[in-house]
Amino acid sequence: MKFLAFAWWTGIQDRMPSVFDPSEQYQTHLEAIDPRLTPGVRTLARDVNMHDGELTRLAVSPIDRSATLRVRTWGEATPATIEIRDQGVAAFELLTNGRDGLPGPGGMGDIRYYEVDIVNDGFTHRILCSTGVELHVAFRDVEVLTVDDAA
């Protein structure tokens, strides 16, 4: 993660008052890059709330250069399931620190934070899970859909 890193997240869990909060820095960065975002990337960055969501499916297709992430979100009013369909995937990386996961559900854990950024001639989104797993996807564009939870 570039802004909302795991070290910061674990620091605030310990109620460390001296830990710098990067949220405002990330929002300023997002505003600066906004004119360069495609409508799909802007939707992912501004309108999707994955905080405390659960990654229930991840599929990567090297042939189609695509990645699909299915996330059960908890939204403002009611739970919903969304699919994030990355197109033109150039890189996919899954990282773990292997030591310092936070208490919570199994699997990838809860999604704590996510970032959208510009890289090279495309975009990236980074997802930080409570287990310490980070997921990075570099892509050209994205589509975000609400889907039937049973699908």
pLDDT for the residue 79: 72
- Give 127's Cβ-side CA count (13 Å radius): 26
Distance (Å, whole) CA 149 – CA 70? 9
Nearest residue to 71 via CA among 107, 34, 30: 107
pLDDT for the residue 124: 92
Task: List the chain pLDDT tens, one digit each, 151 residues.
Answer: 455 444 554 555 555 554 555 567 778 888 999 999 999 999 988 888 887 888 888 999 999 999 999 998 876 666 789 999 999 999 999 887 666 555 666 677 788 788 899 998 899 998 988 787 889 999 999 999 988 765 5
pTM over 0.75: yes
SS3 126: strand
Residues in contact with 122: Cβ distance below 8 Å, sequence separation at least 6, in sequence order: 88, 90, 138, 139, 140
- Contact between 145 and 80 under an 8 Å Cβ cutoff? The reply is no
- Contact between 85 and 143 under an 8 Å Cβ cutoff? The reply is yes
pLDDT for the residue 69: 93
- Contact between 72 and 81 under an 8 Å Cβ cutoff? The reply is yes
Nearest residue to 81 via CA among 115, 64, 63, 57: 57
Distance (Å, whole) CA 122 – CA 60? 18
pLDDT for the residue 35: 95
pLDDT for the residue 12: 53
